[in-house]
Structure 1
Amino acid sequence: MIKLLLFFSTFTFINVFSQSKKQIDSISNLPMTYIQTNLKTVIPQLRKNALDAKKSRNLKAEAKTYASLSLAFYYNGDYDENIKYSLKSIEIFEKLNDLENVSSVYGEMGFRLKATNIRDAEKYMMKGLKIAEKANFTKPLLSIYNNYGVIKNNLNQKDSALIYFHKGLEIKTKSNDSVGIPYSLNNIGEAYLQQKKFDLAKQYFDKAMAQRVALKDDYGIADNFAYNGDLFLAMKNYPLAIQNFEKSVKLAEKYKITNLLRHDYGMLSQAYELNQNLPKALEYFKKSQALKDQIINKETYDKMAELQMKFDTVQKEKEILKQKNQEKKRLNTIKILSILFVSLIIISFLIYRTLFLKNKQQKQEYELTTAISKIETQNKLQEQRLSISRDLHDNIGAQLTFIISSVETLKQAFNIKDEKINSKLSSISTFTKDTITELRDTIWAMNHSEIDFNEIRSRILNFVEKAQKSNDFINIIFERENALDSLKFTSVEGMNIYRITQEAVNNAMKYSEAKNINLTAKTIDNQIEIKITDDGKGFDTEEIELGNGIRNMQKRASELNADFEINSEKGNGTQIILRIPKV
């Protein structure tokens, strides 16, 4: 009974813990657009989530929450807190060896420093860029290329800026990053605006606005109204500039987008002044200054908010203690439901296991039947091969031997003085002996389903030995790599390799007038390479028509799926190369 209670207590704890972890992970992954448009509520929410993640030792969620907090403080105009939480996030990601997120946070931190410390901005951005490019992290590069272009633009490196803006747009388009594409389009437009290429700038701003309207991204729409305001101000079309800035202000005030409001107020002050409306210019100048003062005094407010959050945490802990008593009452119900649930899982598992074992047995029986059938077929084929080879040996072999014996008897029984007849009889005898040799080679191949290279080598050596006896003036050498001996071929493949080698050596002995014939076999680039080289008189491959012997070698090479090559020059001997794919 005690064991059962422990089991259900553990089960309940795991459920509660998994729900808490899911909530922490969810808050740590809040979308950027949500953070931008809910700054007032999202900052306390993220701070609490960071504490919860730290308590539960969920390091990844803690680091992600710090990264989101740094973004929220940046859009809220609190740049010191932005840097503080960025560095906290990087420290944890580095401990986790999560280089993808390290590169992303470095890139974001560099981008946010652009207005206050451009050199540090470039340094941090370059750190993030190097890590992401080295490991080919697509996700961080979606923003880093674009943001690094902004840094280059601020450093007055206009050409470099455009290169990185276009890199950013290209990778975002490939990744179908619908949220990020407008940022790249706006940055390219701003670069053209600074070059006073107003038509090109407007094209990119319009594309960005269209995408943000389609996404219903209010922050992005506010941002694009500000870009259009900058464009019309540069074009000295002050009424249109004022109209766009005021549209941007309306949305920025609605969502409390502090850094965008600061920009809009300042630009509206300039636009009204240039449009000869000094009262309005002064009004927006005062608003801009008030916002700066608000940002400066924000540290005190944030400390108060943090204390309030701690207080709320203590209160919630008390609430949790109260709820524990209520949870005890529900424990019996949870136990019963848990027993039913576990029983259902065990029964389901047993049914599944029974079906699985039955299917496995049927599969094994089928595989065994198939294997037996295959073995029987192979045995029948082997018996047929052996029967044919016996018939060849006993019938045709005996008949050929009879022909040789008859020819020798004729020569001895009759004193034949006619040289032509003697020569013809000798030719018949030699041809018949060669035929017997060929027949024995064929029988040898038929008696094997597989032939290893060592057996092929033995046949070739036997042939070479006989060839040297017939011509003492030719030196024949056969060299091969020992590793080849274990390679196996089908009987047809083995016979083809042997016949090609045999034909090449025969041709060299008959026609080349060579003193040395070298045979080599080795492996090169996953191929078996066999070379037959002689130092004979050679021939011009363009002038001489190839005979049946060479055509047969080419056909056999084709059956092996091998490369067949003949190299020869007059006076420089001949080389035949066979390259067989190594299986």
Structure 2
Amino acid sequence: MKWFRYSLLVFLMLGLEGVPRAQVNEFYQDSLHLALSYGAADSLDQEALLEHLMQGIGQSRDLQQDYWHARFALRIALYYGVLTGRPDSLYKYSLEAREKFRAIGRQLEEARAMMFLGIAEFQLGHEEPAMQWYTAAGDLYQEIGADSLLASLYINIGHSIKEVDYPLYIEYLKKANSLSRQFNEPRQEAITCLGLTDVYLEKNDPDSAKIYIDRAIILSRELDDSQLLSYSYRNLAITEKSKNNRVGVVQNYQSAINSTKNLRDKAIFYTQLGEYYSDIEWHHSADSVLQIAESLAREIGASQLLELIYGAWRRPLEKSGQLKQALAISNLYIDLKDSLHNENVRATVAELTSKYEIELKEKENSKLLATNIQQELDITKLNLANRNRLFLILILSAFIISGWLFYLNRQKSSQQKLKIAQQDAHIQKQQLLAIQKDQELVAIKSIVQGQEQERGRIAKELHDGLGGIFSTIKLSLDHITKKSERLDEHQSIAHSRSLVDKAGKELRRIAQNMMPSTLSKFGLLVAVEDLVDEMNIQSQVEVSFQHYQVDLEFPEDMSLSIYRIIQELLHNAVKHAEATEILLQMVQHDNHLEIVVEDNGKGFDVSEPRQGAGLLNVESRLIYLNANMKIESEKGNGASISLELPLPDTIPEISAGQEP
């Protein structure tokens, strides 16, 4: 966990605090300061750091300077524990430092060394000895009155037992947080706040997590610690992700990236942002940030991070139709994964060898050592006598190993060919799906256009045909009435004129609904306002219409489709939901138009299949517009339908695999 690694680095970067200059040999100053400068650099030079630390411990041994011997040993232990993940070397040098500090009576440093011995034992899988070292370190801190340092001890204990006893891990983390606040240790408090943030995010409790994140941000700014601040923003982005707040997620990842100067951390944050973009299907954005992450990872030579980047990069490239690039990234991912696997095998063999040597040394005694030396001498004599036979065995072994390596190479080549064949099949499947989607979109477009043309034809025929007939009938009745004043007073004639007027108005209303003239003359907003006014007049439903910054002139076919969608949703709310209040909202964003229709009707179960034609027509038009719809409703509590439509300059041509 990153916050735990950071807490160890705090100790690695400790300077020469509290040490009189008279005690510091000039060589020790140069070696220690050089080592710390390499360790604190953003682009960490591990080889230079280890070289200067080894020079320091070698010189201190030669001059029998126990204090500096112990200090360099402790820093070498942390180098192996923090930067290379070598618990055996962490144990070896921590034990060496503890013995030297104990010999010269430096109890504070001795307790710190015992704490690192506990860390090493836990990483080696020795839980009982680890807890004994932790307990001894805590007792010594309390004995010398250094209770403020217990916070760091509890942090390390908690991290060690996290996988074994998670509730106890949380308890230690909270203890460390409380002690940090009690003794005004802002750095330790910030580290524990980040740890508790992870705990509450795992519990799916973003509100509690945000409390600790906000505190960590405040402390990081007070400390002017860019690394702590960047990870606080990263955790805040994860919190916003659990709330489905896309803007909050992106903004906080950008803040995390801008807050840190560490290139590795920047690459990690860009990778996580790319994975989030991919999850929400913003594939072009994912492609852009993952390119940046790859560039940074290559710059610092982070092979394992590159593996994560390539693993996350394939999906957005495939989804955005960049199949050739997706195949290239897949090949890079396979090659890098194989390379890292070989490195891990070599590291594992080296670590197991080192563990075996440590355990062997602990069990040996002087008598056994002398016996082993004698046995080695005997074996040497025997080997000299059987030199020819050994030489033959070596030759045979070489042939066997060569054959085995040849077999492994053939196996690896076969596996790679199989993977390539599977990838080709997957790409062909994606291409077929793309063609099918193109055909579906063309069919939907044809259906929508055909419906609108038929509506326009019927509306024109109603207006020009029946409308003209009704006008002629009315004129005839008026003419008859003028000729005879008695007919004007006759109730049947008056009633007939009223029915003709009513039928004419109804005819005009039907024609208007089928092909609204205000839409082509005055635009979408005016047409929707007329629709809302008409519903308020003709029904007992109160419809409210709100719009914000909707100033874009939409294409005619898009305006008509949006109008039909709104018309269908409003009629459904009145006809099926039996609503008495409806709220319609339109909001224009940078790259999309958001439409929300909410009602107080009887609601419905969104999990049940929709049988009516209304929502199915809406969904067809949404597919035509490359838009999304989200429905929230439950029986008895009304409904809320949200639409997200890309703006005209972002609407793609009819083709598959493009994101809105």
Q: Common fold, TM-score beyond 0.5? A: no
Flag the structure with larger Rg: 1
TM-score under structure 1 length normalisation = 0.40
